[in-house]
């Protein structure tokens, strides 16, 4: 692509189907010219040679005689919202202070997932900086932020984003984002950013006006699919990959969580996920720090994790829903819907040993066989990111209820032990560590009344199909739904909340000081269990983790001689027999 004179290319825009494009910048119109050529970047790029070359500028584009300007698809700032003018942002103006930060890989780490709008009362990046010390004391290694890209309204989960390059202004915008990452690195915390490349939100999505970013009629759960393999897809893929590079380079983040990659529709010989893996390696080589790509995938396909030289995609990690389902069922007893296949201690045992439960087995929820086995010689267990709670598994319940709203301390402690002593990379959802009593519900703030109404009615229909009482489903447009979902930090110091928080801190510290818990491979993991008595014993090297999922006391044979940690004061080890009260667990070492 031939660029215009230096200093003016910051307003270049791809609009291959437009006949005329006018840049509106600083209140003045600048006619744009189509750049020549159909090179590797594709044709259809436009430039304004005499546009402002420096300074902060509000700007937008008028296509084919339109009178209302559209925001830049690559906008870094949207002070007036996703329907308003874009504003330039100089990412290089921040004086980074993280030169000594070496980054870290997943193995041995603990991730903390949070939503900025509900993590603190203020709901901003700067306010979240004030909680980093708490996360360090808890023992966290990575902070994972739910999507922060530009979305419609003032508050939202973030998965309805429409401007992937912008940081939501309500969180503080891009400058605040840089401050947050700098502060996290100073505290010894890595940052993982959740990004969504499989769909766009329903309001403020103007990409289709500029070019073939989407494939109408080829949709997924959320709307039209992104054009990854059709005409014009070279530029669309570059748009996505450059966005990923922006987070890793301009904002110094340590990794990306790729939302719902099973929704990618990509039939090209080199899959987009493989390109993500290659991009991560390229950036890591340039920065000297790991660049971690983690996929959220419903496929149970270990190819995502295999190295590219054996025809894998080369990603560093992927979420494992199977682990969540097995833990959830065994602590809660809930077996409806997609939990049906996981109603046994044996299901949890299989996940702990093999990584996936469905690895080619029949899935009753899907009505077909699902997944494939992991070649454990190619994958370390740390590549599977696991949890007992996350934003999806809470927020997509009818009332957004957490485990802590229905279960007692003993069952919550069991979930914590299962997650934090597993061979995998554990992830906590904000507030889980102290058994937050606040729900985390689905909330939106669409300014358009008709869209707000459609969203609320669609939510009710969704849960009616699942058998939930629609009367209990909160209105996502009601501001109270958002307010209810904010954490109540005061309760973390009270009663069983404080007791659970203390347990999480001790578990994470023990995980960090016991290399066998996090460092060994699949071959060093063994389990024994009793389906009838509902107990499971996990062995990692010389460390044993005994868990009693029954409400009744149980005795389990162990070979260790010392209780390193117990969730209940009634745990007793005598003569190779471990006495566990109902709903309790203990970690035994030699």
Q: Active-site residues: which are they?
A: 259, 296
Q: Do 153 and 445 meet the contact criterion of CB atoms below 8 Å apart?
A: yes
Q: What H or E segment, with its residue span, contains residue 35?
A: none
Q: Do 484 and 395 meet the contact criterion of CB atoms below 8 Å apart?
A: no
* Structure-block tokens of residue 233: 């897809």
Q: Please measure the distance between the N-terminal and C-terminal CA atoms of the chain and give it in whole angstroms.
A: 65
Half-sphere exposure of 289 (CA within 13 A, CB side): 18
Cβ-based neighbour number of residue 245 at 10 Å:
15
Backbone Cα Rg of the chain: 25
Sheet strands (E) in 177-275: 190-195, 214-220, 223-226, 255-258
Q: Do 522 and 423 meet the contact criterion of CB atoms below 8 Å apart?
A: yes
* Structure-block tokens of residue 553: 């006391």
Q: Do 162 and 74 meet the contact criterion of CB atoms below 8 Å apart?
A: no
Four-CA torsion 183, 185, 188, 189, nearest 10 degrees: 90
Residue 45 CB partners (closer than 8 Å, separation 6+): 1, 12, 13, 14, 34, 35
- From 307, 216, 312, 302, select the one nearest 271 (Cα to Cα): 312
550 secondary structure, DSSP code: S
* Structure-block tokens of residue 484: 């209810």
């Amino acid at each position: 692509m031939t660029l215009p004179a230096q200093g003016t290319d910051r307003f270049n825009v791809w609009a291959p189907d437009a006949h005329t494009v006018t840049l509106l910048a600083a209140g003045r119109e600048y006619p744009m010219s189509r750049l020549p050529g159909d090179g590797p970047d594709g044709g259809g790029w436009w430039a304004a040679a005499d546009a402002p070359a420096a300074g902060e500028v509000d700007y937008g584009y008028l296509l084919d005689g339109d009178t209302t300007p559209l925001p830049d698809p690559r906008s870094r700032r949207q002070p007036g919202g996703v329907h308003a003018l874009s504003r330039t942002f100089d990412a290089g103006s921040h004086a980074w202070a993280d030169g000594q930060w070496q980054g870290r890989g997943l193995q041995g780490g603990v991730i903390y997932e949070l939503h900025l709008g509900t993590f603190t009362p203020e709901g901003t990046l700067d306010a979240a900086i004030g909680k980093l010390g708490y996360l360090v004391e808890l023992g966290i290694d990575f902070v994972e932020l739910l999507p922060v890209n530009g979305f419609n309204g003032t508050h939202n989960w973030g998965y309805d984003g429409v401007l992937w390059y912008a940081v939501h202004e309500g969180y503080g915008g891009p400058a605040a984002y840089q401050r947050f990452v700098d502060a996290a690195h100073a505290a010894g915390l890595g940052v993982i950013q959740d990004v969504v490349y499989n769909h766009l939100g329903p309001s403020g999505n103007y990409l289709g006006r500029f070019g073939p970013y989407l494939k109408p009629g080829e949709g997924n759960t959320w709307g039209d699919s992104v054009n990854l393999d059709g005409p014009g897809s070279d530029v669309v893929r570059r748009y996505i990959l450059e966005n990923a590079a922006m987070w890793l380079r301009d904002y110094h983040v340590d990794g990306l969580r790729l939302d719902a990659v099973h929704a990618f529709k990509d039939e090209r010989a080199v899959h987009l996920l493989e390109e993500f893996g290659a991009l991560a390696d390229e950036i890591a080589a340039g920065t000297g720090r790991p660049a971690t790509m983690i996929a959220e995938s419903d496929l149970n396909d270990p190819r995502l994790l295999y190295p590219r030289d054996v025809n894998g995609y080369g990603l560093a990690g992927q979420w494992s829903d199977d682990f969540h389902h097995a833990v959830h069922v065994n602590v809660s007893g809930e077996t409806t819907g997609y939990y049906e296949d996981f109603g046994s201690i044996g299901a949890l045992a299989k996940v702990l040993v093999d990584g996936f439960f469905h690895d080619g087995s029949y899935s009753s929820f899907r009505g077909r066989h699902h997944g494939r086995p992991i070649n454990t010689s190619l994958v370390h267990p740390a590549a599977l990111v696991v949890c007992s709670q996350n934003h999806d598994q809470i927020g997509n319940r009818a009332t957004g209820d957490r485990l802590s709203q229905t279960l007692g301390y003993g069952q919550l402690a069991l979930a914590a032990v299962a997650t934090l002593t597993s061979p995998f990379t554990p992830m906590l959802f904000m507030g889980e560590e102290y058994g937050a009593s606040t729900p985390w519900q689905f909330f939106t703030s669409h300014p358009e009344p008709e869209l707000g109404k459609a969203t609320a009615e669609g939510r009710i229909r969704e849960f009616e199909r699942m058998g939930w009482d629609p009367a209990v489903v909160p209105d996502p447009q009601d501001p109270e739904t958002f307010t209810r979902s904010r954490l109540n930090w005061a309760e973390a110091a009270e009663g069983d909340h404080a007791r659970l928080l203390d347990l999480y801190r001790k578990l994470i510290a023990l995980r960090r000081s016991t290399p066998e818990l996090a460092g060994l491979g699949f071959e060093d993991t063994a389990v024994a269990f009793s389906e009838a008595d509902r107990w499971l014993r996990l062995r990692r090297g010389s460390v044993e983790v005994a868990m009693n999922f029954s409400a009744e006391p149980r005795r389990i044979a162990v070979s260790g001689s010392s209780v390193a940690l117990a969730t209940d004061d009634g745990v007793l080890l005598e003569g190779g027999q471990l006495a566990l009260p109902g709903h309790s667990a203990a970690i035994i070492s030699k």
